[in-house]
Amino acid sequence: MVVSPGEFSGRKALVVGGSRGLGELTAKLLAAGGADVIVTWVASEKDAERVVEEIRATGGEASSLRLDVEDPAPPIEALASGGWMPDQVYYYATPPIFVRRTAFFDQGLLDRFTHCYVGGFARVVEACRDAGVVRLTAFYPSSVAVDEDLAGLTEYAAAKAAGEVAARILGSSQAWLTIVIRRLPRLPTDQTATFIPVPTEDPLAVVSDLVRTMAAVTDEESTLSD
């Protein structure tokens, strides 16, 4: 058993981009540990509903929600008005990473990545605050690409590095907000399976360690605020 029943009991986790890949795995591990999970989607409602159904079939608690990081405030406000306030956010929103490049450096691609990885993350966190969340632990996923010279990933790595800086400053400057930043290793996902024929790490081990770290941080911050 990867996680224990009740290990994450009492946690309310908003998994942004939880309908596939690492987001799906995160949502399922959290729910298996007793967390109340909301899986968000922007274009793949069927995938999100599948994840929710699979979680519920094993006794977990989950719902799906359409949330566009371009404007996340309305759905988050709707959750809050219904009495559901997240104490954790996992941010897995991403545009396609591997695209055909025709220039030495693609400014448009950098802008697209930055808009999602920096602006989108900040908008989601801000929407939680504006909806009335008083204490939040958020996960910002960076990448080992920041440290590695991977061909064709210049713009992606630059945007992730910028996201790290923004997340670190936001987390250190806001008393109500704690941000966990990790440079994730290469993991087998639908984006990497075809384009990176290199050894990858076990996503189950990586994500289970992450959700435990997030739980410990959330518990610690809750104790400090009591």
Q: What are 31-55's pLDDT values in tens digits? A: 999 999 999 999 889 999 999 999 9
Rounded mean pLDDT of 181-198? 66
* pTM reported for the whole predicted model: 0.91
pLDDT of residue 125: 98
Higher pLDDT, 148 or 122: 122
Which has more confidence, 192 or 41? Answer: 41
For the cut 50, the answer to whether the pLDDT of residue 193 exceeds it is: no
Could you give the CA distance from residue 117 to residue 16 in angstroms, rounded to a whole number? 12
Q: Report the pLDDT value the prediction gives residue 44, as an integer from 0 to 100.
A: 87
Least confident residue range of 68-72, 137-141, 153-157: 153-157
pLDDT band with cut points at 50, 70 and 90 for residue 98: confident
Range of weakest confidence among 81-85, 100-104, 173-177: 100-104
| 12 contact partners, CB below 8 Å, separation of at least 6 | 35, 36, 38, 84, 85, 86, 87, 88
208 residue type, one letter: S
Q: Tell me, what's the pLDDT at 103?
A: 79
Task: Give the three-class secondary structure for 14.
Answer: strand
Contacts 24+ apart (CB under 8 A), 104-112: 105/154, 105/155, 106/155, 109/155, 110/155, 110/158, 110/159
With cut-offs at 50, 70 and 90, classify the pLDDT of residue 224.
Answer: low
Residue with token string 């908003």: 14
Distances (CA, A) of 72 to 64, 111, 166: 14, 19, 18
Residue-level pLDDT at 194: 47
Q: What is the distance between the terminal CA atoms of the chain, rounded to a whole angstrom?
A: 32
Q: Which CATH number fits domain 12-225: 1.10.1740.10, 3.30.70.240, 3.40.50.720, 3.40.50.460?
A: 3.40.50.720
How many percent of the chain have pLDDT more than 70? 90
Residues 6+ apart with CB under 8 A from 94: 17, 116, 117, 191
Reported confidence tier of residue 202, pLDDT bands at 50, 70, 90? confident
171 CB contacts (<8 Å, ≥6 apart)? 138, 177, 178, 179, 181
